[in-house]
Structure 1
């Protein structure tokens, strides 16, 4: 958090900017947007409230920046997509998610800065070079977790699931090293984790029922037939596909949505030359937006809970962030290099 604040503090609304940077860093550890919203939001929201930040503004920033963890590797959703799509490298998908995920974060920071300027949340006094170096060095043991998890997955030392377990053990070790936690705190932590997990599992369960209903009614197949029957224009098909995925994402959890719609949409986009890696990033980006929109947005519900606000209260604050993420989605969709340049650079795709 201190390291995130060092970089975020240069802009209007420094604590909100730190929230965005911290969510991006946390996403590079957990691979889960819900986990980022709960952990980072639960840490920074009380600090923001103490500093006089509007709770609705703080919650909106936390909610809309948390999905970056589903694009910045390791990403649980990209792992699911890799499994369904067939011979698509998880490593290639992970590396491909960096630029779109960072673009999302930058977009949220820009909107947050504009809103913070209107709310008169000024930037903080800058640290001296010496102080900045100390903050970064203090954060190195924590930031090493990103290197350990991503490096281990890319090198094939362990799977993404095993990497998450290693992250928990390493984080537990650091919490004792930093003297941030005592053994007596563990029962409370377990209870809090169980409560938050219960909410997430319930949301996934409800969306899974919805996905079963859609499959039973053959809705995905009808969507594919409709798409191909309307036009043969690549641009029009991609726009329609994005609209459909945005709508689907508002009702379904990303995991069942990927399982259902990848086999339907992937052959269509491959027919006009879109690579599976590029499509995977576009698909997950769409579904990430769905996690922060009602009525079935797990990150939206989690962010509201930790921010102690209602969906009705925070919704109008979310609208500018929705707009910027959709603009970035269109850029990612129609400019393949944003998704493909890094995998090509690392030799993961040709």
Structure 2
């Protein structure tokens, strides 16, 4: 059985090194391991069943809805209004445009549920704007890339839905509410770094706007921000499930983008639907393949072996949790969030529970941890989008990213060792 585990790990990483797409690497490694363990017919049958079973969940229906609503709002003039709102509120502070960038990415990421969409929508406006005002383009790109990841924690977030499935049934409503404080802490930490970095480099501040203009910009952005309250309020109040909330988000984003803002034409909806279908297909293939790999890992006792190994290293929970975090940071640098959550939750969650960590607390920790990977080389998808938008290279933005990485890591340590940051709000609303 131990040889099967070696075959799985070696095959998977060999395929990754050959630049085979992650979903195919996972699926092929799983199939090869099954063929190594049992005969061809039952091996193929089992892999097929696990692939299909991995996506056979009512909860997963929320994902295509949230993907579609995010795409509609991405084209619906939401980003422009959020940026103007942020500019009116904090643009006059030290490093004003950098702070506006962080706040805009946080708000848009929370609405769209996509770090990539936030990077593209906010970055395409803010990076040229910051460069025009005297900010270094590479710093502007680094800020956008780091700040866009906050949308993974602040709901609606597809990755929190995926973790709910991987963990065996943690409440999606509780996860959604639990993500607020950590997400806000990450945004605040990034703002502090941006303010200090901007002051150190002498970057300009924005003009203080008249109070009437500030009110006007905030009111203009309120319809967009209202989506958060509709979705989360409905879920917490028991009015609808996460899946139904996704459908409502689509309807609301259509009304807002097509009917009120008139930024999206009816003729554009077909291309948006097609893009949503493509994105959903990619995510579902990752989920199915990762579910199959997770099953074969359990079959060959890999999670149990890793759990026993970690617990024999030390009896100190602080040290073990630090080791888990360092492993996940390394994993996040090489693997997309979806397969990472599906594959490594069954491995590390039992260890965390033995150390007294709740599945809810662990879920926020792993999502925050892997969010750092989204803006980390060599695989970080957000990093590539940010560089493409700014027309720069990854090598040039690593240096300004370092203090932002440090800020995110500090918040990760706080979230890891202070359970109340994740558990206070769910307990307050009776969702713990």
Taking the TM superposition and a 5 Å limit, the aligned residue runs for 1:94-243 are 94-160=176-242, 163-164=245-246, 166-176=248-258, 181=263, 183=265, 186=268, 190=272, 222-243=305-326
Residue 369 of structure 2 corresponds to 286
CA distance in 1, matches of 2:406, 2:155: 24
**Given the alignment, which residue of 139, 147, 151 partners 1:57?**
139
1:18, distance to aligned residue in structure 2 (A): 1.1
Q: Give the Cα separation in 1 of the matches to 2:273 and 2:387.
A: 19
The answer to whether the 8 A contact 1:242-1:286 is kept is yes
Give the unaligned 5+ runs of structure 1.
Answer: none
Matching of residue 7 in structure 1 with residue 93 in structure 2: no
Equivalent in the alignment of 1:47: 129
Contact 1:220 1:260 in 2 (8 A): no
How much does 1:244 deviate?
A: 0.8
CA distance in 2, matches of 1:162, 1:303: 32
- 2:360 — aligned with what? 277
Q: Where does residue 150 of structure 2 map in the other structure?
A: 68
SS of structure 2 residue aligned to 1:127: coil
Q: Offset at 1:48?
A: 2.5
Indicate the larger mover: 126-135 or 51-60. Answer: 126-135
Change (3 A) 1:188 1:308: farther
Indicate if the aligned counterparts of 1:266 and 1:276 stay in contact, CA closer than 8 A. yes
Q: Report the Cα offset of residue 179 of structure 1.
A: 5.1
Q: Shift of residue 273 of structure 1?
A: 1.6
SS of the aligned residue for 1:250 comes to helix
Residues 1:333 and 2:410 are matched in the alignment: no
C-alpha deviation, 1:53, in angstroms: 2.6
TM-score after normalising by structure 2: 0.72
Could you tell me which residue of structure 2 aligns to residue 18 of structure 1? 100
SS in 2 for 1:123: coil
- Give the CA RMSD over aligned residues: 3.3
In structure 2, do the counterparts of structure 1 residues 183 and 347 end up closer, same or farther at CA, with 3 Å as the change threshold? closer
What secondary structure does 1:122 align onto?
coil
With 49-58 and 320-329 compared, the bigger mean Cα shift is at 49-58
Segment of structure 1 superposing worse, 172-181 or 278-287: 172-181
CA deviation after TM superposition for structure 1 residue 256, in Å: 0.9
Change (3 A) 1:166 1:43: farther
What TM-score comes out, normalization by structure 1 length?
0.87
- Compare 134-143 and 219-228 and name the one that shifted more: 219-228
- Distance change >3 Å, CA 177–CA 48, structure 1 → 2: farther
Report the Cα distance in structure 1 between the residues aligned to 2:266 and 2:398, rounded to whole angstroms: 38
Match of 1:84 among 151, 155, 166: 166
Does 139-148 or 326-335 show the bigger shift?
Answer: 139-148
Give the one of 175, 178, 182 matched to 1:93.
175
| Aligned counterparts of 1:294 and 1:19: Cα–Cα separation in 2 | 21
Tell me the residue number matched to 1:37. Answer: 119
Match of 1:317 in 2: 400
Q: Which runs of 5+ in 2 are unaligned?
A: 1-82
Whole-Å separation in 2 of the counterparts to 1:88 and 1:188 = 35
Separation in 2 of the partners of 1:82 and 1:91? 10
Q: Secondary structure at the match of 1:294?
A: coil
Classify 1:184/1:281 alpha carbon distance in 2 versus 1 (closer, same or farther; 3 Å): closer
Task: Give the superposition deviation at 1:182.
Answer: 5.9
| 8 Å CA contact retained: 1:24, 1:105 | yes
Larger Rg: 2
Task: Give the CA deviation at 1:239.
Answer: 0.9
Equivalent residue, structure 1, for 2:333: 250
What is the distance in 2 between the residues matched to 1:227 and 1:243?
Answer: 13
Distance 2:130 2:421 in 1: 34
Taking a change above 3 Å as real, the CA distance of residues 269 and 108 of structure 1, as seen in their structure-2 partners, is same
Measured after TM superposition, the shift of residue 157 of structure 1 is 4.5
CA distance 1:112–1:189, change in 2 (3 Å): farther
